[in-house]
């Protein structure tokens, strides 16, 4: 796997939302403009990360652990590269943490994203990741995402799917959920949608 074909955990989430979002970014000069909502989301995320440093591990149901921030990992065999905001390490066990400013529970795209970090951590740091933690800064709820064999297989399959269309420069089908297209800033470039 060459470096330019490495997939990020964020792209796995985006791919689950709509495969074309990743295709446009990787295979065309088309770039998504940052909307006001995106900018506000990014700012809230940064503010939450600052607050996170002052909190205990109780919200993650962990008695102890070392927090590591901005953990950058790359593994050519997995075809993955990415930077994790927060990793909690307790002995040989590690728990990737994802903070989101949303009132919705984690969707399958979020689970793929977190599992991709787990695969990277296990491959590069030699630690075990039984589950990850997905925390909503809106609802204050933390969801435990178990990295079982099914989710790991789905994550590896999604990486391969993305690599395949990047290599072939083949535009994937549009999202079947047309409500996504209605509010999509790439809509003008998708001639076969609404
Ligand atoms: S307009 Fe629809 S199909 Fe095109 S990128 Fe956006 S969500 Fe995907």
Domains of the chain, residue spans:
3-55+65-189
Is residue 109 packed enough to be buried (19+ CB in 10 Å), middle (13-18) or exposed (0-12)?
A: middle
How remote is the CA of residue 16 from the centroid of ligand 1, in Å?
12
The number of the ligand 1 atom at minimal distance from the alpha carbon of 18 is: 8
Strand-pair partners of 145: 132
pLDDT of residue 43: 87
pLDDT of residue 32: 73
The number of the ligand 1 atom at minimal distance from the alpha carbon of 178 is: 2
State the DSSP string of 143-187: EEEE--HHHHHHHHHHHHHHHHHHHHT-PPPPPS-HHHHHT-TTG
**How crowded is residue 41: how many other Cβ atoms within 10 Å of its Cβ?**
15
pLDDT of residue 23: 93
**How crowded is residue 100: how many other Cβ atoms within 10 Å of its Cβ?**
20
Q: For residues 40 and 33, give the distance between their C-alpha atoms in angstroms, rounded to a whole number.
A: 14
How remote is the CA of residue 111 from the centroid of ligand 1, in Å?
21
| Tokens standing for residue 6 | 């490495």
How remote is the CA of residue 182 from the centroid of ligand 1, in Å?
8
pLDDT of residue 152: 98
Please name the residues in contact with 1: beta carbons below 8 A apart, sequence gap of 6 or more: 76, 77, 79, 163
pLDDT of residue 2: 65
How remote is the CA of residue 194 from the centroid of ligand 1, in Å?
9
Q: Whose CA is nearest to atom 3 of ligand 1?
A: 174
The number of the ligand 1 atom at minimal distance from the alpha carbon of 19 is: 8
Do 45 and 101 meet the contact criterion of CB atoms below 8 Å apart?
yes
Radius of gyration of the chain (CA): 17
List of the chain residues with pLDDT < 50 = none
Task: Give me the CATH topology for the region 3-55+65-189.
Answer: Lambda Exonuclease; Chain A (3.90.320)
| Angle separating helix axes 19-27 and 149-168, nearest 10 degrees | 40
pLDDT of residue 193: 60
Please name the residues in contact with 180: beta carbons below 8 A apart, sequence gap of 6 or more: 17, 18
| Interstrand relation of 66-75 and 80-90 (parallel, antiparallel or unpaired) | antiparallel
Do 194 and 182 meet the contact criterion of CB atoms below 8 Å apart?
yes
For residue 21, is it left (φ>0), alpha (ψ between -120 and 50) or beta? alpha
Q: Which of 174, 102, 167 is nearest to 141 (CA)?
A: 102
pLDDT digits (tens, 9 = 90+) for 88-124: 999 999 999 999 888 899 999 999 999 999 999 999 9
């Amino acid at each position: 796997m060459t470096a330019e074909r490495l997939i990020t955990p964020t792209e796995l989430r985006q791919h689950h939302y709509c495969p074309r979002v990743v295709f446009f970014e990787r295979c065309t000069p088309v770039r998504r403009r940052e909307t006001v909502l995106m900018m506000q989301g990014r700012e809230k995320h940064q503010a939450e990360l600052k607050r996170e440093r002052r909190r205990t591990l109780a919200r993650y149901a962990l008695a102890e652990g070392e927090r590591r921030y901005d953990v950058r990992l790359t593994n050519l065999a997995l075809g993955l590269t990415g930077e994790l905001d927060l990793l909690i390490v307790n002995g040989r066990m590690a728990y990737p943490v994802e903070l989101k400013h949303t009132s919705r529970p984690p969707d399958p795209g979020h689970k793929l994203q977190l599992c991709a970090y787990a695969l990277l951590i296990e491959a590069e740091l030699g630690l075990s990741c039984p589950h990850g933690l997905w925390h909503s800064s809106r609802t204050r709820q933390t969801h435990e995402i178990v990295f079982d064999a099914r989710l790991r297989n789905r994550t590896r399959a999604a990486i391969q799917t993305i690599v395949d269309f990047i290599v072939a420069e083949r535009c994937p089908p549009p999202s079947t959920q047309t409500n996504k297209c209605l509010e999509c800033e790439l809509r003008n470039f998708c001639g076969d949608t609404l």
